[in-house]
Amino acid sequence: MAYIKYKEITKYFNFSRVVDKKNLPKYIKDYVFDDEKILAAYKTLTDHGVFSDKKVVLFDSFGFKRQIYMIPYKSVSTCSIIFSRSGAELLLYLDCGYPVRLKFVNMTDVDKLRLRVLYSTVIRIVNDQKLNSDDVNRLIDDEFSFNDKK
């Protein structure tokens, strides 16, 4: 029996709020290329996470250092999401076997809806399926409200 040792790539991300995509710092926008659309952006106290239509970019800041993870969706073999009362956890498993765990805390109902639509879109990208253009446009334009029935 073989034992495969793995290390989580991102075990310290606890995203606590959505960030307006128009007001992202320039250093973050530099990692999202011209042919990509930013679907959602999240923030911890010091870190950022950006979901585009091609990849996830995670910015792990500590002191004066910053570690940047670029995870193309084509390297994701499977993913899942777990919702709890006030948060959610997104798990991405890479082809190499490494898990990527992203936690979302202090979420409102609108935040959960946004994350559900984002997850649905990411699943379609990972599985090379046709995207739901309504969902993509809602994410890009950040059109979510409490009265949303979708």
Alpha carbon distance 103, 80 (integer Å) = 12
Domain limits for position 85:
14-141
Does a structural domain hold residue 149? no
Task: Give residue-wise pLDDT tens across range 130-143.
Answer: 999 999 999 999 99
Give how many domains the chain has, as a whole number: 1
Does a structural domain hold residue 119? yes
Q: What pLDDT, on the 0 to 100 scale, is given for residue 6?
A: 54
Does a structural domain hold residue 76? yes
Does a structural domain hold residue 133? yes
Does a structural domain hold residue 22? yes
Task: Give residue-wise pLDDT tens across range 75-84.
Answer: 999 999 999 9
Q: Name the residue with tokens 């959610």.
A: 88
Residues 6+ apart with CB under 8 A from 74: none
Does a structural domain hold residue 90? yes
Does a structural domain hold residue 3? no
Task: Say which CATH number the domain at 80 has.
Answer: 2.30.29.50
Does a structural domain hold residue 97? yes
Question: How many H-runs (helices) and E-runs (strands) does the chain carry?
Answer: 3, 9
* pTM score, whole prediction: 0.87
Alpha carbon distance 67, 109 (integer Å) = 31
Half-sphere exposure of 48 (CA within 13 A, CB side): 22
Q: Is 122 exposed, middle or buried (0-12, 13-18, 19+ CB in 10 A)?
A: buried
